[in-house]
């Protein structure tokens, strides 16, 4: 079998409002959890309680995601700021 080699370069990743997207998704997971809690007995009767706990897990993982993407966004902004700062003559690069 021949070794696979790419024929062209990969495109640049798409950047968008990542922090807002992750925050919105986390809120959505938590709202779905809150909507399902009053019906817990109905889910339990049908052996579907995993639906409730999946929503709570999604909200918890979303909180980790918010922390991660906020740090990533701050690091990207710091890197862009460091690139645009004027350097003194003779200063190391």
| Three-state SS sequence of 7-50 | CCCCCCCCCCCHHHHHHHHHHHHHHHHHHHHHHHHHHHHCCCHH
Q: pLDDT digit string (tens) for 18-46?
A: 999 999 999 999 999 999 999 999 999 99
What band does 11 get if pLDDT is binned at 50, 70 and 90?
Answer: confident
Domain parsing of the chain, residue ranges: 18-77
pTM for this one?
0.73
């Amino acid at each position: 079998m021949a070794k696979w080699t790419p024929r062209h370069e990969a495109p640049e990743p798409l950047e968008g409002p990542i922090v807002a997207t992750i925050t919105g998704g986390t809120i959505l997971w938590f709202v779905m959890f809150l909507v399902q809690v009053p019906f817990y007995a109905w889910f339990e009767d049908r052996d579907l309680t995993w639906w409730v706990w999946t929503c709570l897990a999604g909200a918890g993982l979303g909180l980790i995601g918010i922390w991660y993407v906020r740090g990533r966004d701050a690091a990207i902004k710091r890197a862009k700021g460091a690139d645009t700062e004027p350097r003194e003559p003779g200063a190391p690069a």
